[in-house]
Structure 1
Amino acid sequence: MKLSVLVLIAAFAVGLSIGLVNFYFQQSWYFMLVSFVVTFITSFIVFYYLLEKYIYSKIVLIYKMIHNLKLGKDLKDALGEYVSSDPINDVEQEVKEWAGAKKREIEVLKKQEQFRREFLSNVSHEFKTPLFAIQGYIETLQDCLTEDPEMAAKFLDKAEKNVERLSYLITDLDSISKLETGEIPINYEKFDFVPLAREVMDGLEDTARKRNITLSFKDKYTHPAFVRADREKIRQVLINLIHNSLKYGKEYGSTAIKIFELHDQYLIEVTDDGIGIDEKHLSRLFERFYRIDSHRSREEGGTGLGLAIVKHILEAHEQIISVRSTLQIGTTFAFTLEKIG
């Protein structure tokens, strides 16, 4: 509602009130009309001047600042423009939008703070476990180095494995950090995805055989599937996904790679018939160190960062990854790659 309309209503209300009071005492319609007109005109002038000078002009200024600063303009530009004919309602709307945005921002910050605390706790735990193990093995070595060389050799081997685990942790954390900051470049090239998939499966064949799991790549995928991506990083994506499926696959089960041709992309799926994942875990599956079964994960080895690395690599390619799973039926990880004709 514009200023003149607001002032008009206020002046009319004051004039009518004074006129009715005058009529009550004077009992004269003439004096009532005169007092109403005089009061109405006086109130309109006074209200309009006061509201314009002390309230409305400042609301206009506030609106200019809110609206233009929200668009990213500096203060000088914000004060130099006026883009609204009804700033009172617009200020209300802008403040509501601002409040909503701030609420969402606070919620995001709270989630980030929670994630930071969990991440620091997980990092501390992941490093503490092998460090304490190494410390214990070294102390035992000192006691039995001369008395029981065979036992000392066993502890030395265990200490070496924990050192390797620490090394993998540091390497994976460094990789994620560099992917996030863009320090690791994406070296795009055109290549055929089919031979790469076969190379990865051949490399993991021995691991699959030990677990009695069959790796398959459908015979129909014999024609080339040329994509534009970083070949070595996509190799790492495939290795991590297949290794994850082998880790949680059931004995005498299977893991398969499938390719689906879309309009301008290829959809690649890594599917297993393993133990599956409860739906409540799916949204957090790509978080660093997030484990569904932490005890089994540590027994199987790994750093808990494999899926997080996969997600970061594909995001660096501006591609997506998703997961669907059903308990005791299996899990499918699906990601896209840019298709090249």
Structure 2
Amino acid sequence: MMKKRKLIWHIYPAFLVIALAVLLAVTWCASHSFRIFYYNQVVSSLEAKARLVEYQIKPIIISGNFPEIDNICKALGKTVSTRITVILPDGLVIGDSDENPILMKNHSDRPEIKEAISGDTGKSLRFSDTLGKNMMYWAVSIKQADKILAVIRTSVPVAIIDNELARLYKKILWTGLIITVCAAAVSWIVSKRLSRPIEQMTKAAQGFASGQISQRLPIPDSAELAELAKVLNEMEEVRRDFVANVSHELKTPITSIKGFVETLQEGAIDKPEEAKRFLEIIAKHTDRLNLIVDDLLSLSRLEEDSEKRKLAFETVLLKPVIISAVELSKIKAESKNIKNDIACDEKLTAKINSTLIEQAVLNLIDNAVKYSPEGGKIKINVKKSDGKIEIIVADTGCGIDKEHLDRIFERFYVVDKARSRKLGGTGLGLAIVKHIAQVHGGGVSVESTVGKGCVFTIFLPQN
């Protein structure tokens, strides 16, 4: 079986990949934008220099002093570190900052010259046959009364542009590497911050499983994990209470049985009346122990069968199931002159496990009988509401304080332990009702007013 990775190794790589993807995207966009920006700046610079040359040589072109134009080109070219060329409309070169214009070829076929003559300005990025390298050219026509006198062309080697961009890319690369390292460190810190509380909860849960029920989980800063820690702590409190209650509920009858057996051994057995009374008490406590064990086994079976999906569900009429539960509780109800009223449509059906629903309803009726006064009344109403089936058991008993309602379905949780034990309760009946409702995909609720009684409702899906 392949070993599972820790949570941090699920979170950290994802954070890191996202950070690197964002960084690469930003770097690419920045590089692309810088390249365009720098090329535009070079073009603007070449245009500005061409305009400057135009201002100085236009009068000289009009006068026809071409050798002076070549001298100006060579002087200005050194000053502004830019190649400057002056070409007549027929393509004849009359001035160049780098070469002898007499030795230069006719430039009438150069694309930037053609553009300038036809549309005032022109530019191109191409290989120079004269210089033997790639150049960026900008050309502008010099006009006099709409007549083109000449074309001024400025240019720089593309290598200079590439060198500047390479230097810029190098800075971007180093900055990106630094940001990558920082992003990796931050991702690690964030991943550890997220996974550490979960690791602590895992260790605590393992401690719970091994029997360390006294510890509590620290509450993390994040709302979701804090809620999870609170739920785990509450679950452990429930488990701790359950263990304490089971111990108490089992120990109480065992202690009584042991005490009465010792009394019998010490001579009470020779006194028939006392021996009979003691044996009746022992039998009563034994019955109570048996009830507790039976209820615990019922809960265990419910959980196991639910997990393994062994329960069988059939679509059946509900009224016979309710009547059967009422019949099973009839003797106890009649002993207190309590009447059961049933309101259920004869044709109402639901997909249920009949035995379990009968048990749940019986538990609620038994509970109602125990806590109702002599001559009380219990109403069982079964109806369909919003696509669900509601089985409502209402009594006229003593009721339950609001402070107990949230925990009333916990195992062994009873409002009045002494009274419950006196009435023969195990503290597991309502927990069984809750589990039966849950295995049917439903739930259970309770409403109560002290002195007026309780209303328990089992909710079941119709299908």
What corresponds to 1:164 in structure 2?
A: 287
1:301 lines up with 2:424 in the alignment: yes
Q: Partners in 2 of 1:135 and 1:98 — Cα distance?
A: 52
Residue 181 of structure 1 and its aligned partner are, at CA, apart by 2.9
Aligned residue among 354, 366, 381 for 1:231: 354
Letter in 1 for 2:265: Q
Residue 145 of structure 1 and its aligned partner are, at CA, apart by 5.1
Q: Partners in 1 of 2:419 and 2:243 — Cα distance?
A: 22
Q: 2:345, 2:383 within 8 Å by CA — same for their partners in 1?
A: no
SS in structure 2 of the partner of residue 198 of structure 1: helix
Instruction: Please state which structure has a larger fraction of its residues in strand.
Output: 2
Change (3 A) 1:199 1:49: closer
SS in structure 2 of the partner of residue 257 of structure 1: strand
What corresponds to 2:130 in structure 1?
A: none
1:50 lines up with 2:50 in the alignment: no
1:151 lines up with 2:151 in the alignment: no
What corresponds to 2:415 in structure 1?
A: 292
Aligned residue among 283, 287, 300 for 1:177: 300
Letter in 2 for 1:137: F
1:105 lines up with 2:233 in the alignment: no
Residue 159 of structure 1 and its aligned partner are, at CA, apart by 0.7
What corresponds to 1:246 in structure 2?
A: 369
Instruction: Please state which structure has a larger fraction of its residues in helix.
Output: 1
Aligned residue among 346, 371, 381 for 1:258: 381
Structure 2, unpaired ranges of 5+: 1-18, 31-163, 195-219
What corresponds to 1:90 in structure 2?
A: none
* TM-score (ref. length: structure 2): 0.54
What corresponds to 2:334 in structure 1?
A: 209
Deviations 1:275-309 (A, max 9, x none): 11111111101000001111111110121100001
Change (3 A) 1:98 1:178: farther
Q: 1:178, 1:184 within 8 Å by CA — same for their partners in 2?
A: no
Higher relative contact order (CA 8 A, sep 6+): 1
Further displaced range: 137-146 or 40-49: 40-49
What corresponds to 1:72 in structure 2?
A: none
Q: 2:345, 2:382 within 8 Å by CA — same for their partners in 1?
A: no
Q: Partners in 2 of 1:335 and 1:158 — Cα distance?
A: 36
Change (3 A) 1:296 1:146: closer
Asked which structure has the greater CA Rg, the reply is: 2
| C-alpha RMSD over aligned residues | 3.3
Letter in 1 for 2:239: R
* TM-score (ref. length: structure 1): 0.72
Aligned residue among 445, 448, 454 for 1:322: 445
Residue 195 of structure 1 and its aligned partner are, at CA, apart by 1.6
Aligned 1:78-93 pairs, distance under 5 A: none
Structure 1, unpaired ranges of 5+: 9-36, 68-96
Residue 331 of structure 1 and its aligned partner are, at CA, apart by 0.9
Change (3 A) 1:127 1:64: closer
What corresponds to 1:339 in structure 2?
A: 462
Q: 2:340, 2:377 within 8 Å by CA — same for their partners in 1?
A: yes
Deviations 1:93-122 (A, max 9, x none): xxxx99433222211221122112111111
Letter in 2 for 1:56: A
For these two proteins, the number of residue pairs brought into alignment is 278
Change (3 A) 1:288 1:47: same
